[in-house]
Structure 1
Amino acid sequence: MQTVHRRRSILALLGATGLATTTGGIARAGGRDRLPRDLLPGGRLDLFVAERAAADQFSGTVLVAHRGRPVLTRSHGLADKAAGIPNTADTGVDLASMTKSFTGVALTHLAEQGALAFHEPLGAFLDGFPSDVAAVTLHQLATHTAGAGRSALTTQRPPGEAEWGSEEEVWQGMLAYLRTLPLRFTPGTAFGYGNDGYFLLGAVVAAVSGLSYYDYVRQHVFAPAGLTHTEFHTRPQVLAATGVAHPYATQPNGERVDMAPSLPYIGAPSHGAFCSARDLLRFAHALHTNGLLGPAYTRVVTGGKHALSPADRPAPAGQREFYGYGHVETVAGEHRIVGHSGGGPGRATNLDVFPETGWTVVVLSNYDTTIRPIVDLARQLVMSAAGRSATLPVGG
């Protein structure tokens, strides 16, 4: 009886907080939904997310789509607790490291045009670096095998970073600082995940294109993909906006603290783009249907190039991961999953695209509580559904 009451309470929660829930024109055959019920509103995934939200373990949006068409879109929690503004599928959430996917596409777009090549050294585009740093290749920077810059876990910060108050100050200050850093290891001999390598790649995008990194990504990634709720917001913009989620960091005592006032002035090529769940689906759909790059270069940017060991990045049992250009390619049995995750104080994000079966799962949270259980369950359900792919609709 207690289980029945629990399920009823969760269903009531879904009714109260089911913002923008849809089955998106699901095709039917013989009166039955062709899509698996576990991935639809009221199904196993929806109920599981609602349980976590009810326990204050999730705040944000989960979106599941098949062939670009949403079949489940559910939002929970508040984007701004002080103002009482709820999260929706159009709320911009700090993607954290998933921002690297945009940078990877921008860099590959320039390669597709012949404006650069991945084997070329950093020094061919940017000057002022020590000779060994200048010799690292764009490929090594994009796969985190260059050894340039700081580790992602470092507490080391550039002098005066807290006072930077403009896009120009951030850009020039970071580049000046990165020119002072030695290599951490011999390029090509190890995997060392970090953010600085992607900042350097963003600087290459700017140097080659003649545009700022931000403008290049806006014009050649965001615009052609149809992203309308995606931007590199400045800290003042985040504080003033109503459609942007504040990141809430969990303190040791369990309290959640709004981190928006202490955000960097603006995000970077490695982290800090704000994007909505619907926009992230549009980005994934545009990329994998060749709306951003040609078919060959889509495989270039998304395909795994460096095998990740458990020490590099722990993977779920039975899954193997490979780092590409701002994307992680996961092989799980017969399934290929492409995407990226992100995390930090007050944010936890993940994008999974199943290119061969047409599924996409977006999980965006403005809490730093782990979303791994949600991601793992969604993968399990999608891969199970793919085993019954003969019953799935082919349109959309």
Structure 2
Amino acid sequence: MNEMTYSAVQQLLDRVVDEYGVPGVVAEIRRGDETWFGTSGVADITTGDERRRGEHVHTGSAGKAFTAAAILRLEAEGRLSIDDTVDKWLPGVLDVNGYDGSKITIRHLLSNSSGLFVTGLAPEIYYRYATRSGFAKHRFDISTKEELLTLAVSQPPIFEPGTAFAYSNGGFYIAAAILEEVTGNSYADEVDRTVIQPLGLTHTHVRRPDEIDYPQPHPRSYSKLFYKEGFDPAQITAENWQSAMEDPGLEPLDVTEFNTSGGWAAGNIVSTTGDMIRFVGALASGALLPPEQHRKMWTTISTEGGHWMPHTRYGLGVFEFDHEVAGGITLRGVGGSLWGSYISVVGTADGEHTFALHTNMEWKSWDIMFDGIKAVFGEGG
């Protein structure tokens, strides 16, 4: 790294605040033994406190990679195979709405190729959280495993297993239920045993079902991720959801105290940018999993047509950029967004050069991540 890289990343952070209206943003870069940390904006709109290194933040769907890694570790231990069907471990769970548990495998669940519908578009989610009034009413609701498994299959399949890609939290709910069936332990305990403890992620944990706060230090979380009041949830699709969003001129809502148990194995992990850099570096390089499971994690499928992040292929809970974005090098990563938090962590396949960015507001544009990649991994980075 060089001063030009640091300057370019700092300019990006300032632009994220100035142009996208994000309250505060941090970035951390590690290359070998060298690290750099930068901030812009504030951690708290009311006090004006600045963001700082070591903050605990919600990692959203980056938690999918923890789930996939835990299950692959179980496979390495000989306790299951990712080509096992759902019916082998949870007979009858998928016998609803046209699903077939004898055709859907754990690999399908973890690669978003199961045919499960896009869970985030379920009307049940809209009614609870997608408007400001709904969020205020339901922000402290606790979602149980049983409720999430029901939600996962509450609408019919959208394609035959293994034939396409669609980003579905429900697949990770079912995968975690299998993990608990196999081990007899909780999802949180198994993630701690197989991922968090081996990597020494001392500032990372799976949130408890009743947990609504964060360890110190942490930023406040702010959201504008709400639909217009009165919008019919039955009309929301992957194509029209943006037009249904509320007036962008409204003040952000403080959503720091929020029960995120609905994320469960699809994303309910609290961490820091430093811990996430260590995690992604280990996943990318093969430092966490045995060679066979590492290869399976990074055997990717196309995301084209899946209404997801452009220029990517999806593995098991992780993604890889095409060379158009990466400038001819292999870049691997995780990411996640929910009300009040967005994180992206991307690194080289050898685990030696990794970049993490977090905003205390949800995702605003893919350009933020792509511009960061260009600044960190581009020529001279």
Structure 1 and Structure 2 fold alike (TM over 0.5): yes
Matched, 1:197 2:163: no
TM-score between the two structures when normalised by the length of structure 1: 0.76
Structure 2 unaligned residues grouped into runs of 5+:
130-137, 225-245
The separation in 2 between residues aligned to 1:148 and 1:81, in whole angstroms, is: 39
Deviation track 1:305-327 (CA, whole Å, cap 9, x = no partner) reads x1121553352xxxx42110001
Matched, 1:186 2:177: no
CA RMSD of aligned residues (A): 3.0
Q: Please state how far the C-alpha of 1:133 moved relative to its aligned partner.
A: 3.2
1:358 aligns with 352
Whether the 8 Å contact between 1:249 and 1:368 is mirrored in structure 2 is yes
Matched, 1:38 2:12: no
Whether the 8 Å contact between 1:152 and 1:195 is mirrored in structure 2 is yes
The separation in 1 between residues aligned to 2:329 and 2:315, in whole angstroms, is: 17
Whether the 8 Å contact between 1:238 and 1:244 is mirrored in structure 2 is no
The separation in 2 between residues aligned to 1:44 and 1:165, in whole angstroms, is: 42
The separation in 1 between residues aligned to 2:42 and 2:332, in whole angstroms, is: 29
1:6 aligns with none
Q: Which amino acid aligns with 1:367?
A: M
Residues 77, 235 of structure 1: CA spacing in aligned structure 2 closer, same or farther, 3 A cutoff? farther
Whether the 8 Å contact between 1:77 and 1:86 is mirrored in structure 2 is yes
Q: Please state how far the C-alpha of 1:228 moved relative to its aligned partner.
A: 1.6
Q: Please state how far the C-alpha of 1:367 moved relative to its aligned partner.
A: 1.1
Whether the 8 Å contact between 2:333 and 2:344 is mirrored in structure 1 is yes
The separation in 2 between residues aligned to 1:163 and 1:361, in whole angstroms, is: 31
Residues 376, 121 of structure 1: CA spacing in aligned structure 2 closer, same or farther, 3 A cutoff? same
Matched, 1:140 2:108: yes
Matched, 1:244 2:218: yes
Residues 269, 130 of structure 1: CA spacing in aligned structure 2 closer, same or farther, 3 A cutoff? closer
- The within-5 A match list for 1:1-396 is 35-40=1-6, 43-53=7-17, 56-57=21-22, 59-67=24-32, 69-81=33-45, 86-131=50-95, 132-135=99-102, 136-157=104-125, 162=138, 170-178=144-152, 182-234=156-208, 237-239=211-213, 241-250=215-224, 252=247, 253-265=249-261, 267-304=263-300, 306-309=301-304, 312-315=307-310, 320-333=311-324, 334-356=328-350, 358-368=352-362, 370=364, 372-385=366-379
Q: Please state how far the C-alpha of 1:357 moved relative to its aligned partner.
A: 7.8
Whether the 8 Å contact between 1:302 and 1:326 is mirrored in structure 2 is no
Residues 130, 375 of structure 1: CA spacing in aligned structure 2 closer, same or farther, 3 A cutoff? closer
Deviation track 1:167-206 (CA, whole Å, cap 9, x = no partner) reads xx61233234546654333222322211110111111111
| Structure 1 stretch displaced more, 358-367 or 155-164 | 155-164
Share of identical aligned residues, percent? 20
Q: Which amino acid aligns with 1:307?
A: S
The separation in 2 between residues aligned to 1:238 and 1:84, in whole angstroms, is: 23
Deviation track 1:19-56 (CA, whole Å, cap 9, x = no partner) reads xxxxxxxxxxxxxxxx332223xx12112313433564
Whether the 8 Å contact between 1:303 and 1:329 is mirrored in structure 2 is no
Structure of greater relative contact order (alpha carbons < 8 Å, 6+ residues apart)? 2
The separation in 1 between residues aligned to 2:162 and 2:174, in whole angstroms, is: 17
Q: Please state how far the C-alpha of 1:247 moved relative to its aligned partner.
A: 2.4
Say which SS state the counterpart of residue 128 (structure 1) adopts: coil
The separation in 2 between residues aligned to 1:376 and 1:72, in whole angstroms, is: 19
Whether the 8 Å contact between 2:110 and 2:171 is mirrored in structure 1 is yes
| Structure 1 stretch displaced more, 69-78 or 155-164 | 155-164
Whether the 8 Å contact between 1:232 and 1:266 is mirrored in structure 2 is no
For this pair of structures, how many residues does the alignment match?
343
Residues 366, 107 of structure 1: CA spacing in aligned structure 2 closer, same or farther, 3 A cutoff? same
TM-score between the two structures when normalised by the length of structure 2: 0.79
The separation in 1 between residues aligned to 2:221 and 2:139, in whole angstroms, is: 21
The separation in 2 between residues aligned to 1:281 and 1:70, in whole angstroms, is: 13
Q: Which amino acid aligns with 1:139?
A: R
